[in-house]
């Protein structure tokens, strides 16, 4: 890692929320393209994904999903259980962030796309107890749509269409069908 990246990673822990946020956005900007320092950052990432502080977990989700294209299959295999744990764990906001971004990991590692689709389907089917479960289901649908569009994942398309059939709320179903309309042939 360059000194600049090392400093940005350290700034993520800053008590100054503005500095931490600026560091996150700078790292996300750098991570838009593949980087050669993922291996050096992996331990920090994994700690953030299991941190009890939701803002740190959120940083881990955003950076982990964005950096997936820079990670090799072994690194993704080491990080994926923590990401899937967030997806199926506590914390509505971090669960949503994970659902919105985890498709990037599936695009970067097609061999793990089945695990990610299964976790998204589980979240969709089991989130009814959540106060705003309609938002989680919409996030799942958008993630499956992104996976289909970006990686040509036909299984993601079929799963999205299948999951809509579980929707009993007419208003929610209409919104989900609008997302799914991008997936029909």
Q: What is the pLDDT of residue 89?
A: 87
Examine the domain organization and report whether 29 and 59 are in the same domain: yes
Q: What is the pLDDT of residue 73?
A: 80
Examine the domain organization and report whether 94 and 10 are in the same domain: yes
Mean pLDDT (10-residue bins), the chain, 185 residues: 92 94 95 89 92 93 92 85 90 95 94 96 92 94 95 95 91 89 72
**Three state DSSP letters for the chain:** CCHHHHHHHHHCCCCCHHHHHHHHHHHHHHCCCCCCCHHHHHHHHHHHHCCCCHHHHHHHHHHHHHHHHHCCHHHHHHHHHHHHHHHCCCCHHHHHHHHHHCHHHHHHCHHHHHHHHHHHHHHHHHCCCCCCHHHHHHHHHHHHHHHHHHHCCHHHHHHHHHHHCCCCCHHHHHHHHHHHCCCCC
Q: What is the pLDDT of residue 181?
A: 83
Q: What is the pLDDT of residue 129?
A: 87
The total of structural domains in the chain comes to 2
Q: What is the pLDDT of residue 21?
A: 95
Examine the domain organization and report whether 93 and 145 are in the same domain: no
Show the domain range for 135. Answer: 111-185
Q: What is the pLDDT of residue 185?
A: 58
Examine the domain organization and report whether 45 and 120 are in the same domain: no
């Amino acid at each position: 890692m360059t000194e600049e990246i090392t400093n940005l990673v350290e700034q993520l822990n800053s008590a100054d929320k503005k500095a931490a946020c600026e560091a996150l956005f700078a790292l996300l900007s750098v991570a838009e393209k593949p980087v050669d320092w993922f291996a050096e950052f992996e331990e920090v990432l994994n700690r953030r994904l299991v941190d009890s502080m939701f803002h740190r977990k959120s940083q881990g989700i955003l950076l982990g999903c964005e950096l997936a294209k820079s990670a090799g299959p072994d690194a993704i295999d080491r990080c994926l259980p923590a990401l899937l744990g967030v997806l199926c764990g506590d914390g509505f906001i971090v669960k949503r962030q994970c659902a919105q971004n985890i498709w990037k990991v599936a695009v970067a590692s097609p061999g793990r796309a089945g695990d990610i689709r299964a976790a998204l389907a589980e979240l969709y089917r089991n989130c009814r107890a959540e106060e705003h479960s309609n938002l989680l289901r919409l996030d799942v649908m958008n993630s499956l749509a992104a996976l289909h569009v970006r990686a040509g994942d036909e299984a993601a398309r079929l799963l999205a269409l299948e999951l809509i059939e579980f929707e009993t709320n007419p208003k929610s179903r209409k919104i989900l069908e609008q997302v799914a309309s991008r997936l029909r042939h």
